Structure 1
Amino acid sequence: MKVPEDSVAGMRRAVAEVCREVFDRGLALSGSGNVSVRCGDLVALSPSGFRLCDVRPRHVTVVTVDGDRVVGAFEPTSESPMHLAVYGKVGEGAIVHAHSPYATALAHTDEPFPTTAELERWVGRVEEVGFLEPGSEELAREVARVARVPCAVILRGHGTLGVGRDLREALKIVEALEEAARVAALRPRP
């Protein structure tokens, strides 16, 4: 498949930029979290084994929707099955998977995940997926089952996922989830 270089380069730049923003905003620390975008039949994925603040365009791998590598020397995120399964359902869009402190802490409990009026107006119901092994086909199937655009997903015992029409929207969704969890943590308890 021949892909225009400018579209591939643009996808790689955009993913790298959002990776750094996710890290800078405290939504994914150490080596956690991943980012992707789908344009046409191509998906650009953040690399495995990198802190998001260190991702540069050359580190981003571009694959077909079937997972065949088009460009990139680095292994894509171990969550590639989840990203590709979601794109198989929703088509074009973007995904940010975060391990932000408040939302991830809450995802590790049995408490209902809080929401805000703004988040509900924007994405509707916040979806939840029970704990499944990260990177597994089972997790990929379950997340794809509940995914839509836009969509917020709580991965129990794991983290959060924002599915948006573009990278900015996906980033805003995981930020909104973190904000809702932070507000819930700060509210007075009886």
Structure 2
Amino acid sequence: MADLRADLIATARAMQPAGLNRSTAGNVSVRSGDGFYITPTGMAYGSLIEDDIPLMALDGSHAGKRKPSSEWRFHRDLYATRPEVGAVLHAHSPFAVSLACLRLDIPPFHYMIARFGGDTIRCAEYSIFGSESLSTVAMAAMAGRKACLLANHGMLVAGRDLNEALALAIELEELCEQYWRACQLGQPVLLSAEEMAAVLEKFKGYGQQ
């Protein structure tokens, strides 16, 4: 599966120019058979080669010469419980982190919130990085959603493949910035539950199916 590992490295390297990450922060994974490839812990993305990418099983074991990301648990739990998920991305992007540090859900200030599966982007409760408890609260915030914020931490997105995961992360950071900017001018006017329900219905047939 060398090509899959190469695609994973390319996605990880795309995070910094997209404004999602700096240095070794964040992590990315992609489903492979009954397990998943994930970026290794504490290694700069620019230096990665395919042999640096660990292959993890759903029982938490891994193969390869490098240790997996310390956040492997919420990647594993998404793959174990969400068969539609093919790739997971976690980033410490500036506007997502800013809102996460306020422990704020993002309300329906813009209809594109519905792109992530509901009428809000939830913020998970705080738990220390790399812990099973962080995965537990992240899974609760991700229920029925493609993304969430992690309190005092960052963002988490789940896509059908690496391309969608990266696109969702970029879109979420943009929404976080737009919400932050709108709040500088006043209290954003929110879409109603009925208006968001109509958007969610319309999204079912949006784009190339």
Shorter chain as denominator, the TM-score bin is 0.7 to 0.9
The residue type paired with residue 112 of structure 2 is E
CA distances 1:124-149 after superposition (whole Å, capped 9, x unpaired): 24232111111000011222334357
SS at match of 1:24: coil
Greater Cα shift, 149-158 or 29-38: 149-158
Equivalent of residue 95 in structure 1, options 74, 80, 88: 88
Equivalent of residue 12 in structure 2, options 12, 19, 44: 19
Q: Which blocks of at least 5 consecutive residues in structure 1 are unaligned? A: 1-7
Q: Which blocks of at least 5 consecutive residues in structure 2 are unaligned? A: 187-209
Matching residue of 2:41: 48
Equivalent residues of 1:33, 1:97 under 8 A apart: yes
Report which of the two has the higher share of strand.
Answer: 1
Matching residue of 1:169: 164
The residue type paired with residue 73 of structure 1 is K
Equivalent of residue 86 in structure 1, options 66, 75, 78: 78
SS at match of 2:77: helix
Equivalent residues of 1:19, 1:34 under 8 A apart: yes
In structure 1, C-alpha distance between the alignment counterparts of 2:175 and 2:68, rounded to whole Å? 30
The change in CA–CA distance for 1:130 and 1:76 in structure 2 (over 3 A counts) is same
The residue type paired with residue 106 of structure 2 is F
The residue type paired with residue 97 of structure 2 is T
Pairing 1:189–2:185 present: yes
TM-score (norm 2): 0.79
Equivalent of residue 148 in structure 2, options 153, 160, 170: 153
Task: Give the number of aligned pairs.
Answer: 182
Mapping of residues 104-183 of structure 1, within 5 Å: 104-114=97-107, 116-124=110-118, 125-147=120-142, 151-183=146-178
TM-score (norm 1): 0.86
In structure 2, C-alpha distance between the alignment counterparts of 1:87 and 1:156, rounded to whole Å? 22
Equivalent residues of 1:93, 1:165 under 8 A apart: yes
SS at match of 1:153: strand
Larger Rg: 2
SS at match of 2:129: coil
In structure 2, C-alpha distance between the alignment counterparts of 1:18 and 1:88, rounded to whole Å? 22
Identity of aligned residues (%): 31
CA distances 1:82-133 after superposition (whole Å, capped 9, x unpaired): 1111211113511000110111111101444255312314532423211111
In structure 2, C-alpha distance between the alignment counterparts of 1:22 and 1:39, rounded to whole Å? 21
Matching residue of 2:67: 75
Two-structure CA RMSD over aligned residues (Å): 2.0
The change in CA–CA distance for 1:168 and 1:150 in structure 2 (over 3 A counts) is farther
In structure 2, C-alpha distance between the alignment counterparts of 1:101 and 1:53, rounded to whole Å? 21
The change in CA–CA distance for 1:129 and 1:112 in structure 2 (over 3 A counts) is closer
The residue type paired with residue 124 of structure 2 is V
Greater Cα shift, 37-46 or 148-157: 148-157
